[in-house]
Amino acid sequence: MRLTFRHGASRRSPPQQDLFDYKPALEKLDRQPCPEELLEGERFAFIKGRPKVLASAYKFERVGQSGGWVSELLPHFKTIADDAAVVRSMHTDQFNHAPAQLFLYTGSPILGRPSMGSWVTYGLGNEAEDLPGFVVLVSGGITPSAGKSVWGSGFLPSVYQGVQCRTTGDPVLFASDPKGMDRASRRRSLDALAALNEMEAARRGDPETRSRIEQYELAFRMQVSVPEVMDIKGEDAKTLEMYGAEPGKASFANNCLLARRLVERGVRFVQLFDWGWDTHGTNPSDDIITQLPKQCQQTNRPAAALIKDLKRRGLLDETLVVWSGEFGRTCMNEERDGSKYLGRDHHPHCYTIWMAGGGVKPGLVHGETNELGSRIDSGAIHVHDLQATILHALGVDHEKLTYRFQGRDYRLTDVYGRVAHELLA
């Protein structure tokens, strides 16, 4: 089993009220002062005072056999609705980007824990001999707010950390031979370096020395394999059109196509980050009228294409695809510093994700939020539940996948989390 995790990266979080969680009750209260019960004991990242309710500006329709609601902003998702499970009842413990991203990917809002991809490759290994087991692709020009820790290996051996690949220039920085050194010379130098590292490993017994040897050898093999897999010019015109991909350019569309190429070649865990979902509404470039449609237009088509492509190649059943942000958005307008633009603040209490393939129930719509979309009414799924469910779908018991560090057995789901069997076929 392999996993492709598509996630909005730094300063993200798609607004569920405008995409999947249709709330007609918001229309009745639109631009009216928010009910006091929604504010009692609540902490917001930016909202101050008493905000106004904000209805969605977009039309919704029921799609697929489940009849789930989907926004007009996601026309391509409608074509794969029967292949996906939509979870409208996610919740998290964090309401700011960096700690929420760390919590989603490492199980802790504090730096230092291994990322999910590192746990998966540590537990299941790597099927690809000439490629990393854990690959990261970033689009939108900005890395996550939590930095590269969201694909770091933490206290696990560094051989399990994610390898970020670029779609322009050298796919992996510093993997190419230095100027004036040919491949045969590099091989001789690595052999000499390996011999020295083997002596050091035998003398000190440090597992990181063994990891260093493996990383040098993998980097040598990657010099040939990575440029080949990252070059999409050989894809047929129909496939490029389906994704909206353009060879030689950096885009989420290209990254979705690359994700298929990577899992096809045995890469265990592929993580996509895409910048541009942070619709606070402090200016026209980040409001839900200008930025959100633009972001959906750039990402909806390739995300749906990935599902269709995996399905037609017989890979969807063995590949789990997860589309998620790190938290949700408020049902009121942020109006930060008197801004006149429409936007939504951070909201940890309920948000929507979707999953497809890999043993997930196709066509499922799970969970309900209240009439204003501010809290969960039924079917709550915590971040640790999601992590446990992902590991279970990959064939791993989240309570048994542990690593002893500083006298304690750590795991991705920390001290709690349950497998959400209701999401699985």
Taking only the tens place, the pLDDT of each residue in 127-169 is 888 888 999 999 988 889 999 999 999 999 988 999 888 766 6
- pTM of this structure: 0.90
Instruction: Answer whether 117's CB lies under 8 Å from 394's CB.
Output: no
Sign of the four-CA dihedral 420, 132, 112, 406: positive
Q: What proportions of the chain, in percent to the nearest 5, are helix, strand and coil? A: 40, 20, 45
CATH topology of domain 2-171+247-423: Alkaline Phosphatase, subunit A (3.40.720)
Give the span between the Cα atoms of 71 and 76, in whole angstroms. 11
pLDDT of residue 377: 98
Mean pLDDT, to the nearest integer, of 53-58?
97
404-413 core/surface letters (b: 16 or more CB in 10 A; e: else):
eeeeeebbbb
Compute the C-alpha angle 97/98/100, nearest 5°.
65
Q: For 57-72, how does the pLDDT look when each residue is reduced to its tens digit (9 = 90+)?
A: 999 999 999 999 999 9
pLDDT of residue 166: 73
For residue 354, the surrounding DSSP H or E stretch is strand 351-356
Q: Above 80 in pLDDT, residue 102?
A: yes
Q: For 29-48, how does the pLDDT look when each residue is reduced to its tens digit (9 = 90+)?
A: 999 999 998 998 898 999 99
Ranges assigned E (strand) in 275-345: 319-324, 328-329, 332-333
Sign of the four-CA dihedral 180, 185, 187, 189: negative
Q: For 218-269, how does the pLDDT look when each residue is reduced to its tens digit (9 = 90+)?
A: 666 666 667 778 889 999 999 999 999 999 888 999 999 999 999 998 999 9
Compute the C-alpha angle 372/375/377, nearest 5°.
95
Q: Above 80 in pLDDT, residue 8?
A: no
Q: How far is CA 366 from the centre of its chain?
A: 20
Residue 424: both structure tokens together: 């699985």
User: Which CB contacts under 8 angstroms, 24+ apart, belong to 336-341?
Assistant: 336/46, 336/47, 336/280, 336/281, 336/282, 337/282, 339/281, 339/282, 339/283, 341/281, 341/282, 341/283, 341/284, 341/286, 341/287, 341/289
Q: For 365-417, how does the pLDDT look when each residue is reduced to its tens digit (9 = 90+)?
A: 999 999 999 999 999 999 999 999 999 999 999 999 999 999 999 999 988 99
Give the span between the Cα atoms of 125 and 136, in whole angstroms. 17
